[in-house]
Structure 1
């Protein structure tokens, strides 16, 4: 069993970001409601074929059209965690580094392509940390929020601002901001 987050971890991260622990818990709830790890101990991942396509210059688009495509779509996402892991493993067999960069990892779904931003020299070092614990996943999240300038949005509960910075301009398509607001309210009421 991989180490999971305790209440003190949320408090420490909230102190580092100068926000309420409920804000960080809300991000967890929306990004990976089942936690940072799959039942087999692998980190929760989501492979993004449009990123893989970009990193490999479309080299595998004909051979593996469900792994390499020019525009974002959720059409090829695995329906189960096993299917999603299988997609990632197939991509790793084609182009390891590109595949690792093209997946989001763990409880906070940090993209491998952001490994430098969150303090890792290589994407492999980042992935190794994501395998260690939810604590390592949380530290990557804290660094990401600090470097991306999103701490103020968390502090103010500016869910649209945070969602835009964390998930990109299409965040509203998935109601990411309203999901964060709802989760935050729930965790605030439980405190």
Structure 2
């Protein structure tokens, strides 16, 4: 079983980001239902067909519309995501790995540098090691993208806009994060910061 996040991990991340633990856990809850790995010990992923489409200039849209499509969505079951990734990687491995949202915080592979990794392979390998690497990638991404102030203020619409893209309202990312935060903040542990 891969390492999962401890209370100390969350506290250190909250201290680093200057926010409440509840704000960090709210993001994880909405992005991955709070779990970074599947039962088979592979990272929880979401293959983003519209990102694969963008990264390959739509080259595979006609032959493989379920893995390359200009229209977001069509994700299917979580249990099918690694198979979808494998199918896309058979066409263009680099683009496929960048078109995946990875782990507990669903950081997009395309953002590996913003997540603090020099190369895409280093990022991918880290995503397989455990949830502490997922948290590190999240913290780096938040600090490097202008998300920090929104997370600290718990400005969920601003946070979701940058984190999930302009269509965030369609999936209610902002309201779901706000609701998760309200649940977590009731625990004294999740209130902890600085």
TM-score by length of 1: 0.95
1:89 corresponds to which residue?
86
| Structure 2: gaps of 5 or more residues | 189-194
Aligned residue-pair number:
188
- Shift of residue 78 of structure 1? 2.2
- Shift of residue 106 of structure 1? 0.2
Secondary structure at the aligned position of 2:90 is classed as: helix
Cα distance in 2 for partners of 1:83, 1:150 equals 30
Q: Any idea what the Cα deviations from partners look like across 1:135-167, whole Å, max 9, x if unmatched?
A: 000000000000111111111111111111111
Cα distance in 1 for partners of 2:155, 2:57 equals 36
Aligned pair partner of 2:110 in 98, 113, 116: 113
| Structure 1: gaps of 5 or more residues | none
- Shift of residue 34 of structure 1? 4.6
1:78 corresponds to which residue?
76
8 Å contact 1:164–1:171 — kept in the other structure? yes
8 Å contact 2:25–2:34 — kept in the other structure? no
Aligned CA RMSD, in angstroms, stands at 1.1
Q: Does 1:150 align with 2:147?
A: yes
- Shift of residue 172 of structure 1? 1.2
Q: Does 1:132 align with 2:129?
A: yes
Cα distance in 2 for partners of 1:182, 1:34 equals 14
8 Å contact 1:78–1:87 — kept in the other structure? no
TM-score by length of 2: 0.93
129 and 86 in structure 1: CA distance in 2 versus 1, 3 angstrom threshold? same
